[in-house]
Amino acid sequence: MIDAIYRQTNRTNLIKSLGGGIVVLTAHTLMQRVNDAVYDFQQEANFLYLTGIEEPDWWLILDGARNKSWLVSPEIDDVHRIFEGGMTSAKAVELSGVTHVITRDEAEALLRELAAHHSLVYAIGDDPYASHYNFFQNPAQKDMWRRLSRTFGEVRDCRKSLVGLRAIKQDWEIDAMKRAIRLTNDAFRTVRQKLPELRYEHEIEAEFDYAFRRAGRATHAYDPIIAAGLNACTLHYTKNTARLKKTDLILLDVGARVDGYAADITRTYNLRPTKRQQQVHDAVVDASRRIIALLGPDRLVVDYFAQVDEIMKDALESLGLLDDRTDQEAYRNFFPHSVSHGLGIDVHDSLGGPRYFQPGMVLTVEPGIYIPEESIGVRIEDDILITANGYLNLSADLSTDI
């Protein structure tokens, strides 16, 4: 359980970074799966960051000028209350530290009153990921934006400020991530031990499911990738149904989500690897070590990515896969994804496009080499915290051995 005092600090920091003002945010709403069934609910990350509430349709109103805050409880009809329950106001207060809980009607009146003194209101705008991937976005934020633009003179997006705050993890966030990583690492160790008796990709997946569910508060932070042999060359392979062959390398990319924070870890296993499989695996492990060692505060992000390219090209050369280091297309064929992304509430948590790495940032380091012609796909992924003096590999206690 994460203390409400931290949520309070997050709200204060947001108001500070905006230089005061009015902020109105909404939780995600439920999405229909089929007829009367809904998809698993996941809270909008910024709303979770500011309130700790993991229930749909709540609102948060902040008045930076008067230093006041309100939660708005959703209108839940009796049918939904009986079937799905719902969060009590007392629980919402306990989680968020916001002491005033008002109804939707009271909120409408409050917003009109605030609009009489402030023409500008901050809200969350369109999710750039949704348009980039052509996903249907949870409609709650758009609905709120429309509602606010009817009442206020101008609605402005405060997503950038929140990205900036969330990119620098506080100690309690790092602690939550450590809990997620510990649980994930433990499950990896169990799986590796049981590997001789596991016959299908989904049997491996089930071991992770069991470990995470058994821990109570944990879920998967993302769809796990359990990919044997050639399947490992499909980067987002999540079918996880193939039979395991003794000769297959097995790539496992799995992360638990604990107390709202994600782990994201990859290992590649085979109990009796061929010489070639071992060679490729060694090359990726070696690259991973060299890349992690590049990290530290005040290092230029562009330099990091440039040096990663050199390290990965060294690896590919050593394996006889790359003759010409300037052949960008050949290089990208064997290593077609980014080496790092931010990690936090979201498994791809934005670092806000910084020029330099800064203490408190958490990112993955995940070099991989994929050779479909040889049915080999190897990736090693660790979760790294940038510290004041260098870095800390949060997932280091999980062996990278094959």
Q: Which residues bind Mn ion (CB under 5 A)?
A: 264, 364
**Least distance from C-beta 323 to Mn ion, angstroms?**
30
Q: What is the separation of C-alpha 228 from the centre of its chain, rounded to a whole number of angstroms?
A: 24
Q: Are 47 and 27 in contact (CB under 8 A)?
A: yes
* 15 vs 362 by CB, closer to Mn ion: 362
* Sequence-ordered alpha helix ranges (H) in 270-300: 275-292
Residue nearest to Mn ion as judged by C-beta position: 264
Cβ proximity to Mn ion: between 22 and 254 the closer is 254
Cα-flanking dihedrals φ and ψ of residue 168, to 5°? -100, 105
Closest approach, Cβ 316 to Mn ion, in A, equals 21
- Closer CB to Mn ion, 268 or 364, in the complex: 364
Closer residue to Mn ion, CB minimum distance, 141 or 364: 364
User: Kindly report the CA angle at 303 between 301 and 305, in degrees rounded to 5?
Assistant: 75
Angle value at C-alpha 256, between 255 and 260, nearest 5 degrees: 125
Minimum distance from residue 260 beta carbon to Mn ion (Å): 18
What does the DSSP assignment read for 235-266?
Answer: TT-----PBPPTT--EEEEE-EEETTEE--EE
Hey, what are 385's tokens? 């915290």
**Rounded to the nearest whole angstrom, what is the least distance from the CB of residue 274 to Mn ion in the complex?**
27
* Beta bridge pairs of residue 256: 220
Do 245 and 270 touch, CB atoms closer than 8 A? no
Q: Which is nearer to Mn ion, 74 or 352 (CB)?
A: 352
Find the shortest distance in angstroms from Cβ 253 to Mn ion. Answer: 7
Cβ distance to Mn ion smaller for residue 45 or 158: 45
* CA proximity to 75, closest of 103, 53, 48, 101: 103
Cβ neighbour number for residue 114 with a 10 Å cutoff: 19
Question: Tokens in use for 305?
Answer: 């990515």
- Least gap, CB of 96 to Mn ion (angstroms): 30
Determine contact, residues 375/248, Cβ cutoff 8 Å. Answer: yes
Q: Check: CB of residue 367 under 8 Å from CB of residue 312.
A: yes
> Which lies closer to Mn ion via its Cβ, residue 146 or residue 236?
236
CB of 23 to Mn ion, least distance (A): 31
